[in-house]
Structure 1
Amino acid sequence: MTIAAAAYPLDWLEDWETYEAKLEGWVMDAVGQGADLLVFPEYGAMELASLGGPDVAGDLEAALQHVAGLRPQMEELFARLAHQHECHILAPSGPVIEGSRRLNRASLFAPTGLIGHQDKAIMTRFEREDWSVEGGDGLVLFDTSLGKIGVTICYDSEFPLLARALCEAGAELLLVPSATEAVAGYSRVRIGAMARALENQCVSVQAPTVGPAPWCPAVDENRGAAGLYGPPDAGWPETGVIAQGGLDSPGWVVATVDLAQVTQSRADGTVLLFKHWSEQPKQAEAIKILHEKASSA
């Protein structure tokens, strides 16, 4: 399949029609390049805060509430785009409010409609301490016509047991939508995405927000590059980089992957990390502590 990963800028929007036109253009561009699966970033939905005006967009709480309120309308738009263009789309994640809980949710759409959603599992300090956003209720494996897909949202990609659980359940492809305000944060997520592809002998796809959005303090600075990664093994690029865009360069990064190669690598790769994962606990439990002998001088 051909995958398009977005390096997505957050724009000030004067009205809903402007947003629809922007997303229609982005989807048409990716599909025009042959993409079967389009991956948008974490908190890409926060540009919808601009529709509430400067006072709403400039306030952390008001922005969250406004974007959460537009969630049904946004999902209708992405369902229509996926159907119209006959593609799968991981829509930009954004806040949702369920009862007393505030979650960071990414939804996956097929041409036939919404498949389901993945809520971010582990919150960053900003989400916990400034925004009161909570972790979701576990992980989701999306069994699609393209293949078996897991989603680890941004910080989640830095925790190996999450991706491991998804891959043990059958995931061949990990989608990593991200939003990071500094190159250090982008690097952590990119390194995490590459490490998860290495450990699980699978494909990972990072799609970040890029560029400034000074009108919304929740997402005012955005650094990153879109990329697709695989295990550096036979049949894959020796660097593990399938494709990668330039830092802070808006647009799609598009590449074609064969998920049959995931099955091949796991069964008969040069190394068998996925298979040998279970050998770690025995070795880790057998740790010894050796003390340096004091000098007799």
Structure 2
Amino acid sequence: LTSYTDRFKEFMRDLAVRFNVNIIGGSHPTMVDSGDVQNISYVFLRDGSIHQQVKLHPTPNEKRWWNIKGGTELNPIPTDCGLIGVLICYDSEFPETARHLVNQGVRILFVPFCTDERQSFMRVRYCAHARAVENQIYVVMAGNIGNLPNVENMDIQYAQSCILTPCDFPFARDGIAADTTPNVEMIAVADLNLDTLSVARNDGTVQNLRDRRFDLYEVRWKL
């Protein structure tokens, strides 16, 4: 797949410009200058610019089957809709990563994922929703479905894409702004108001960000 990187990036950039949209393009195995292969999510903006986020935590299977190496940087991506963050699949299962992005102003987190069965999917979904609750942000999950019977370690897929919110009065009672049918190719659509996040953070039933105990703990990024 690494041989398709340039074509993939050109194709997705053209789509973003042609249709005047911002696209979080899943993730793609990419050969980097060091010769290592990294799992990278490319973000294609409507102005033609391309940004990227490298997966920090390769799964045991990614290391074993594809020798994927983890990245070292995690930064917000500036868009015309504000700062966004991307955590690829397994990265969303580490609370420190989302908090690092939120501390830099991110209010919408995108989680592209690839899981092979329901247990794996639910692990990512539960963690993604926890990130929405504890950081009072929106989290958008998008996964792939279908079967690739001739591709080893990618033969089956399970996904249920969704748009998640905090669980409080300004939002849907279950914290789900939009959902899809499991393992069905669908599009989830929701209007997300960033001002509503401010209401929740300042006047919500609980105020997770405001009530943090900095006298007891902190998230400190080393690089």
The aligned residue for residue 223 of structure 1 is 158
Contact kept? 1:147, 1:259, Cα under 8 Å: no
Paired residue secondary structure (2:182): coil
Distance, in Å, in 1 between the alignment partners of 2:47 and 2:142 is: 23
Give the TM-score normalised by structure 2.
0.93
| Cα deviation digits, residues 59-118 of structure 1 (max 9, x gap) | xxxxxxxx1111111101111100000000011311011123110001111111134100
- Give the distance between the partners of 2:200 and 2:193, measured in 1 at CA: 11
Amino acid corresponding to residue 85 of structure 1 in structure 2: F
Residue 164 (structure 1) aligns with? 99
Larger C-alpha radius of gyration, 1 or 2?
1
In the alignment, structure 1 residue 122 sits paired with structure 2 residue 53 = no
- In the alignment, the residues of structure 1 paired with residue 116 and residue 215 of structure 2 have an alpha-carbon distance, to the nearest angstrom, of 35
Please point out which of 122, 147, 159 is paired with 1:187: 122
- Matched with 2:16 is 82
**Residues 78 and 254 from structure 1, CA distance in 2 versus in 1: closer, same or farther, beyond 3 angstroms?**
same
Deviations 1:103-148 (A, max 9, x none): 0001111111134100101111101222210111210201211121
Task: Please name the residue that 1:277 is paired with.
Answer: 212
Q: Is residue 93 from structure 1 mapped to residue 27 from structure 2 by the alignment?
A: yes
1:280 Cα deviation after fit: 8.2
- SS of the residue 1:254 aligns to: coil
Residue 253 of structure 1: how far off its partner (Å): 1.1
The answer on 1:203 being equivalent to 2:138 is yes
Q: How far 1:279 moved relative to its partner?
A: 5.0
| Alpha-carbon distance in structure 2 between the residues aligned to 1:217 and 1:276 | 47
Partner of 2:221: none
**In the TM superposition, what is the alpha-carbon distance from 1:264 to its structure 2 partner?**
2.0
Whether the 8 Å CA contact 1:212–1:222 is kept in 2: the answer is yes
Correspondence for 1:144: 79
Separation in 1 of the partners of 2:216 and 2:160? 35
2:2 aligned with 1:68, yes or no? yes
Runs of 4+ aligned structure 1 residues displaced above 6 Å come to none
Aligned CA RMSD, in angstroms, stands at: 1.3
Q: List aligned pairs for 1:99-118, cutoff 5 A.
A: 99-118=34-53
Between structures 1 and 2, the one with greater helix share: 1
> Once the two structures are superposed, what CA deviation does each residue of 1:224-250 show, in whole Å capped at 9, x if it has no partner?
101000101121011111111111111
Partners of 2:39 and 2:213 in 1: CA distance: 32
- Give the aligned partner of residue 192 of structure 2: 257
Which residue type is aligned with residue 94 of structure 1? H
In structure 2, the gaps of 5 or more residues are: 218-223
What TM-score does the superposition give when structure 1 sets the normalisation length?
0.70
- Report the Cα distance in structure 1 between the residues aligned to 2:25 and 2:94, rounded to whole angstroms: 22
Kindly provide the amino acid, as one letter, of the partner of residue 208 in structure 1. G
Asked if structure 1 preserves the Cα contact closer than 8 Å seen for 2:26 and 2:113, the reply is: no
SS at match of 1:123: coil
What does the per-residue CA deviation read over 1:168-190, in whole Å, with 9 as the maximum and x for residues that have no partner? Answer: 11000000000000100000010
SS at match of 1:81: helix
Q: In 2, Cα distance between the equivalents of 1:261 and 1:177? A: 24
The residue number in structure 2 matching 1:19 is none
CA distance in 1, matches of 2:77, 2:70: 19
Counterpart amino acid of residue 125 in structure 1: P
